[in-house]
Protein backbone atom coordinates (compact mmCIF):
# COMPACT_ATOMS: atom_id res chain seq x y z
CA UNK A 1 0.00 0.00 0.00
CA UNK A 2 1.12 3.55 -0.71
CA UNK A 3 0.17 6.76 1.07
CA UNK A 4 1.17 10.31 0.27
CA UNK A 5 1.97 12.57 3.21
CA UNK A 6 3.82 15.75 4.05
CA UNK A 7 6.60 16.73 6.44
CA UNK A 8 5.88 19.20 9.22
CA UNK A 9 8.72 20.19 11.54
CA UNK A 10 10.57 16.96 10.79
CA UNK A 11 7.56 14.67 11.31
CA UNK A 12 5.85 12.83 8.47
CA UNK A 13 2.11 13.49 8.52
CA UNK A 14 0.06 10.78 6.80
CA UNK A 15 -3.60 11.03 5.80
CA UNK A 16 -6.18 9.62 8.25
CA UNK A 17 -6.84 6.57 6.06
CA UNK A 18 -3.24 5.46 6.65
CA UNK A 19 -4.19 3.75 9.90
CA UNK A 20 -0.90 1.93 10.47
CA UNK A 21 -0.31 0.15 13.78
CA UNK A 22 2.55 1.28 16.01
CA UNK A 23 5.83 -0.37 15.09
CA UNK A 24 4.97 -0.77 11.40
CA UNK A 25 8.11 -0.57 9.29
CA UNK A 26 7.80 2.07 6.57
CA UNK A 27 9.95 3.38 3.75
CA UNK A 28 9.94 7.11 2.99
CA UNK A 29 10.85 8.45 -0.43
CA UNK A 30 10.78 12.17 -1.26
CA UNK A 31 8.56 13.09 -4.17
CA UNK A 32 11.11 14.43 -6.70
CA UNK A 33 8.52 16.68 -8.32
CA UNK A 34 7.93 18.55 -5.06
CA UNK A 35 11.62 18.60 -4.09
CA UNK A 36 12.79 20.04 -7.41
CA UNK A 37 10.06 22.66 -7.46
CA UNK A 38 11.30 24.04 -4.15
CA UNK A 39 15.04 23.83 -4.86
CA UNK A 40 17.18 26.95 -5.02
CA UNK A 41 18.13 26.11 -8.60
CA UNK A 42 14.49 25.86 -9.65
CA UNK A 43 13.66 29.21 -8.07
CA UNK A 44 16.67 30.88 -9.69
CA UNK A 45 16.05 29.29 -13.08
CA UNK A 46 13.76 32.20 -13.97
CA UNK A 47 16.93 34.31 -14.24
CA UNK A 48 18.54 31.95 -16.75
CA UNK A 49 19.23 33.93 -19.91
CA UNK A 50 18.01 37.21 -18.40
CA UNK A 51 21.20 39.02 -19.46
CA UNK A 52 22.27 38.39 -23.03
CA UNK A 53 25.10 40.87 -23.59
CA UNK A 54 27.81 40.00 -21.05
CA UNK A 55 31.38 40.71 -22.21
CA UNK A 56 33.35 37.51 -22.95
CA UNK A 57 35.71 38.19 -20.03
CA UNK A 58 32.99 39.01 -17.48
CA UNK A 59 33.81 36.02 -15.24
CA UNK A 60 37.47 37.08 -14.93
CA UNK A 61 36.84 40.83 -14.76
CA UNK A 62 33.49 41.19 -13.00
CA UNK A 63 35.07 43.61 -10.47
CA UNK A 64 36.07 45.84 -13.38
CA UNK A 65 32.58 45.84 -14.90
CA UNK A 66 30.71 46.16 -11.59
CA UNK A 67 33.03 48.35 -9.48
CA UNK A 68 35.37 49.95 -12.02
CA UNK A 69 38.59 48.32 -10.76
CA UNK A 70 41.43 47.51 -13.16
CA UNK A 71 41.02 44.56 -15.50
CA UNK A 72 42.99 41.42 -14.72
CA UNK A 73 45.83 40.45 -17.00
CA UNK A 74 45.23 37.17 -18.82
CA UNK A 75 48.28 35.06 -19.61
What mean pLDDT do residues 61-72 have? 92
Q: Residues 49, 34, 18, CA angle at the centre, nearest 5°?
A: 175
> In the prediction, which pLDDT does 35 show?
59
> In the prediction, which pLDDT does 9 show?
92
22-51 in b/e burial notation, b at 16+ Cβ within 10 A?
eeeeeeeeeeeeeeeeeeeeeeeeeeeeee
Q: How far is CA 37 from the centre of its chain?
A: 7
Question: pLDDT tens for residues 9-46?
Answer: 999 999 999 999 999 999 988 876 665 566 788 778 88
- The domain locations on the chain are 28-70
> In the prediction, which pLDDT does 22 show?
92
Distance of alpha carbon 73 from alpha carbon 56, whole angstroms: 14
pTM of the model: 0.39
- Would the pLDDT of 68 be above 90? yes
Amino acid sequence: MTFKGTVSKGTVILPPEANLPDGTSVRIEADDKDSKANSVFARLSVLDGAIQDFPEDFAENHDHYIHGSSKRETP
